[in-house]
Structure 1
């Protein structure tokens, strides 16, 4: 096999290895999983089934997404951002939110350009920066007053950047950016000329007492922000594989071309289901799903009281500090599975020094009744 320098630094995501080791044992508590057991919106199921039965959407075209979905995304973004995106010029539909990352990176970076992410961050973001040929630089998260916070003092030292690639809430930590964070990010983008690539996949999955701020509403960021959205997390429509990119019209010309050549187009019948969910006047169950995620999160934190777990301000997961338990993240992951029957992913590929000392506990795919066994399982693993 010929060498390829891109893959010298790209790391395996880790969760698939844990899932394979866990197998299909029903006793294993599946906290490595990126899925959710909360049902997708019924309106989306019905619209997708109707499209299939009526043979709608079985097409390659339009290459940038069906007009009805681009218009629904524009309406959704108007509510979130306050901006009136042109559905034809400023929105492109993608095959899931994560598939949007590569065409954006290819459009805004040159080889070896620095792209800043948090430590920890979603491996799907970090490793795509490497595959795109850019250089990932990590700004650490710190635990302050019991929650993850951005190290703004380190961020303000950034003097060269092509882009900042950020999530709020962030995977895997559940950290949520506040107003001061976004203002610091705006200052860095203005000073360096960087784009903000904002992964908004979990934007509304925020728990009580924590802010939900869209960066496009922060002075100076709207004209620099490229938004990546998805139906997978908030709307629980993982299998539909529908995402989108929205941003300033000039850079979207480039992103549109990169997207067409990257993934062609998402399935048309799935797009029709997504449009139905976005346009559902009842809210497609988002509020109810968020309440359930918070309830599950709270059970996890209660179960692990006294252990080095950091609560999440939102999202689907929280982190347990393996090094504080005198273990490596891989050792803790192995013990959790072998002794406690808990599948949990070590954060080896999810950042730098902060990420690699933690394992991730995903609470989106296990009900409260099963999560209530977590304490006994962890004690068995550590005993």
Structure 2
């Protein structure tokens, strides 16, 4: 009798992500999907034209492993202009197949089995599985439960001789909070004299609101010297399905990053790289992004204020977290995941439970909406949420 051999799971506690589950439920019930973080509007036609032109010009074969020179040079120029740090385009910039691939590649590049990696919870759901796939050990440190600000006393207490890295994220998914210059200087001071590497997830770098600057680790020389900085063209230019990101790091760290990158991806879609390189010559699209998304945040927040949800601060990203503690529930003690399922099924709006971003069970009666949607989509969702 034929049989499939058993395979011990590398991720025995992982199943289908909550994002896929909620998107499928939204489709099943024809709900407005404010769960998964992607826009429902198109990108600039000029970007599409650049990619089309690149394909027509024959840029359809393998590009150089770290990315085409023109794109790496454009990325380095952008970082230098915005944050004042000069990365060498030849040795310190790599184009990746999205940010998630970049994060996993960074972990595989810098950790050895048994190394500890600090993560600040709640956190993007790929961090801990990536650490485990690298045979390293995740060490969870909670952000402040109300403000989601980093608690540096807790971070300091979590550092041991086995700590190899810390993963930070600003602007922060899922909470929408933003690190300040004081936070970065405190982190810089905390890590001084250690060999700890920072993996800085900055995919929402151009979505910081109310006139606040983005505190990239690249702004701080002592942090930049020990950091792998990850960003995403998909988030910045409304093309999440393209899965194109980039990494900046000192040459010594980038050498190790590329050793892994060449064997798990090798390189990234050629015509899209050419299109992005041309599109980056004009800074207006990304410089205008804060105002673009702040308007959507304000529109959505204004509508939510007419509901029984309690808004949490949103300083950046395209996510708005809310508390439903003041809403009378159909069942007593309905947990976050069950509340999101009920909201999708009975009210017709999909959201993501904040508990999905923690390793251990947490229930703070808080959920996350994505407002990277057309105004009509947001208005439709708000009309349904007003029924609560």
TM above 0.5: yes
Q: Any stretches of 5+ residues in structure 2 without a counterpart?
A: 328-332
Distance 1:19 1:68 in 2: 37
The correspondence for 2:17, drawn from 13, 18, 24, is 13
Distance 2:91 2:204 in 1: 25
The correspondence for 1:378, drawn from 359, 382, 385, is 385
CA shift for structure 1 position 315 = 0.2
CA shift for structure 1 position 379 = 5.2
Question: 1:78-157 maps to which residues of 2 (within 5 A)?
Answer: 78-142=80-144, 147-157=147-157
The correspondence for 1:4, drawn from 8, 13, 16, is 8
The correspondence for 1:368, drawn from 351, 362, 375, is 375
* Pair 98,55 (structure 1): closer, same or farther in 2 beyond 3 Å: same
Corresponding residue of 2:226:
224
CA shift for structure 1 position 302 = 2.7
The correspondence for 2:181, drawn from 159, 179, 182, is 179
Corresponding residue of 2:330:
none
Distance 1:356 1:129 in 2: 24
Structure 1 stretches (4+) deviating beyond 6 angstroms? none
Distance 2:29 2:291 in 1: 29
Distance 1:286 1:150 in 2: 27
Asked if residue 252 in structure 1 is aligned to residue 285 in structure 2, the reply is no
Partner of 2:143, secondary structure, is: strand
CA shift for structure 1 position 152 = 2.6
Asked if residue 159 in structure 1 is aligned to residue 166 in structure 2, the reply is no
Kept in 2, the 8 Å contact 1:344–1:361? The answer is: yes
Kept in 1, the 8 Å contact 2:217–2:229? The answer is: no
Partner of 2:10, secondary structure, is: helix
Kept in 1, the 8 Å contact 2:11–2:129? The answer is: no
Deviations 1:224-272 (A, max 9, x none): 1111122011222323321112211112111111001011211110100
Partner of 1:207, secondary structure, is: coil
Taking structure 1 as the reference length, what is the TM-score of the superposition? 0.89
CA shift for structure 1 position 376 = 4.8
Taking structure 2 as the reference length, what is the TM-score of the superposition? 0.88
Distance 1:90 1:63 in 2: 13
Q: Any stretches of 5+ residues in structure 1 without a counterpart?
A: none
Corresponding residue of 1:55:
58
CA shift for structure 1 position 108 = 1.0
Asked if residue 274 in structure 1 is aligned to residue 282 in structure 2, the reply is no
The RMSD of aligned alpha carbons is 2.3
Kept in 1, the 8 Å contact 2:172–2:317? The answer is: yes
The correspondence for 2:74, drawn from 51, 69, 72, is 72
Corresponding residue of 1:328:
335
* Pair 46,296 (structure 1): closer, same or farther in 2 beyond 3 Å: same
Corresponding residue of 2:244:
242
Kept in 2, the 8 Å contact 1:120–1:355? The answer is: no
* Pair 45,314 (structure 1): closer, same or farther in 2 beyond 3 Å: same
* Pair 355,373 (structure 1): closer, same or farther in 2 beyond 3 Å: farther
CA shift for structure 1 position 361 = 0.6
Distance 2:11 2:363 in 1: 20
Kept in 2, the 8 Å contact 1:322–1:329? The answer is: no
Kept in 1, the 8 Å contact 2:97–2:267? The answer is: yes
CA shift for structure 1 position 38 = 4.1
CA shift for structure 1 position 127 = 2.5
